[in-house]
Amino acid sequence: MTDPIVEAWRTHCRLAFALLNAIPDEALACSTSHLHRSIGQIWAHVHNHRLDWLESTAPDLAATLEKVSKEQAGDKTRLEQALAASAQAIETLLARSLAGDGRLEGFEGHAATFFAYMVAHGAYHQGEICLALTQTGYRLPKEVEYGIWEWQRQPNQSAGQKGSNRTPAA
């Protein structure tokens, strides 16, 4: 049986991908002001932040991953591939840690705390993305807008994405 924390990470990532997939390609360049990141740059930041943690907690899992540059942030395919790869690496890190004593090298606290931190970070930026979409005139489909809260649904019932609870393959 898969650890419930790993399952919850998969759900978080599945719902994040439903949001990303609902965003029109042209909206990735949108920003609420010249002082803020574009929507694509926010997604790149989420991936790059995961990679920063992987580099310090599990260098072996970070070794094949690359950061997403500002210039690449408008390429949805690049974002999807990077986010899928870093999501899988974080899942592996969590599973590995939880199968042991729950500790993570370079992180003070249990793997459950690290999981909560990563979900909080991702959720903060997903809210930022939703706000930026609204403020720049883009409307998410209702099934995605409300679906990001459907944590209790089975994977094939999720709004915005059918199939397994896993993120797309890298």
| pLDDT tens, residue by residue, 6-16 | 999 999 999 99
pLDDT higher than 80, residue 17? yes
For residue 107, the tally of other CB atoms under 10 A from its CB is: 16
Q: What pLDDT, on the 0 to 100 scale, is given for residue 154?
A: 52
Give the CA distances from residue 45 to residues 49, 61, 68, 163, in Å, rounded to whole numbers and listed in that order. Answer: 6, 18, 8, 27
Q: What pLDDT, on the 0 to 100 scale, is given for residue 43?
A: 98
Q: What pLDDT, on the 0 to 100 scale, is given for residue 156?
A: 47
Q: What pLDDT, on the 0 to 100 scale, is given for residue 143?
A: 87
Q: What pLDDT, on the 0 to 100 scale, is given for residue 75?
A: 97
| pLDDT tens, residue by residue, 36-64 | 999 999 999 999 999 999 999 999 999 99
Domains (range + CATH), the chain = 4-157 (1.20.120.450)
